[in-house]
Amino acid sequence: MVRRYLVAGNWKMHKGVSETTAFLEQLLAAKRPRNVDVVVCPPYISLPAAAMLLTRSGIGLGAQNVHWESSGAFTGEISAPMLRDLEVGWVIVGHSERRALFGETDETAAKRARRAQDEELTVIFCLGETLEEREAGATMDVLRRQAGVLGDLDPAKLVVAYEPIWAIGTGRTATPAQAQEAHAFLRAELAGQLGQEAANTVRILYGGSVKPANAAELFSQPDVDGGLIGGASLDVPSFSAIIRAAAHLAAGESS
């Protein structure tokens, strides 16, 4: 089973409308490989401008969070139907920054993911251990707990992103072997919950200080199906170089 590489940019709290427009115009003007799926996830406020620019471009548009209700008294929240209305097709759920800074739990992340899938959004579900957990030898226990909710989701609209917290924004990347070990473990967990066939179709992205210089080595691991890119997705040359690294590997695999 061949999984297509996916390179997704999580812009976090960067790029308002004018910077989003400038970035996407530059990205769209550049030559892009067709054998890799590409998604950008700007802040909510920039989604309408991005949606207009990306129509029929082949580049996917994602949000960085979503509420589990359709509407109601939830000040500051955005719902899945609202995202669909903008033709947003993807959403990041359970990012470690939301877990650490905004009270996200396994349960709330699962509720968001289910609601988003009900609305036909593809969920990029993030999980990963802290440095203390890794050093205590608890990585796989943490991943098993966090992945415990994935069995309730539709594998056809699911991407998992393994993002070790100690590698996010630190310049310290997991080694390819560490990434592969975690990804293989997560795929086995998915197989236990959803069956091996479905687990083989779910893309598992690596996130945490992916750069043009380390992307190819990480993506060449058998269970690493692309990346969720933070800092290096904010600049067109570096984001494009990461996309090309995936395209190069994909071309090699298909030849």
Report the distance separating Cα 239 and Cα 249, nearest Å: 16
168 binds ligand 13P (CB under 6 A): yes
Beta pairing partners, 161: 126, 205
Q: Which is nearer to ligand 13P, 194 or 202 (CB)?
A: 202
Report the distance separating Cα 161 and Cα 92, nearest Å: 9
Q: Is 163 a catalytic residue?
A: yes
163 binds ligand 13P (CB under 6 A): yes
CB of 63 to ligand 13P, least distance (A): 13
CB of 192 to ligand 13P, least distance (A): 26
Structure-block tokens of residue 130: 């802290």
Q: Is 183 a catalytic residue?
A: no
C-alpha dihedral sign at 133, 95, 241, 216 = positive
Helices (H), the chain: 17-29, 47-54, 80-85, 96-101, 106-118, 131-135, 139-147, 176-194, 196-201, 212-219, 236-254
- Listed ranges 30-38, 70-78, 205-213, 216-224: which one lies at the site for ligand 13P (CB under 6 A): 205-213
- Listed ranges 68-76, 141-149, 152-160, 208-216: which one lies at the site for ligand 13P (CB under 6 A): 208-216
- Listed ranges 16-24, 30-38, 188-196, 206-214: which one lies at the site for ligand 13P (CB under 6 A): 206-214
Report the distance separating Cα 223 and Cα 181, nearest Å: 9
- Interface pick for ligand 13P out of 62, 155, 164, 208 (rule CB under 6 A): 208
Interaction site with ligand 13P (CB under 6 A): 10, 95, 163, 168-169, 207-210, 228-232
Q: Which residues are catalytic?
A: 95, 163
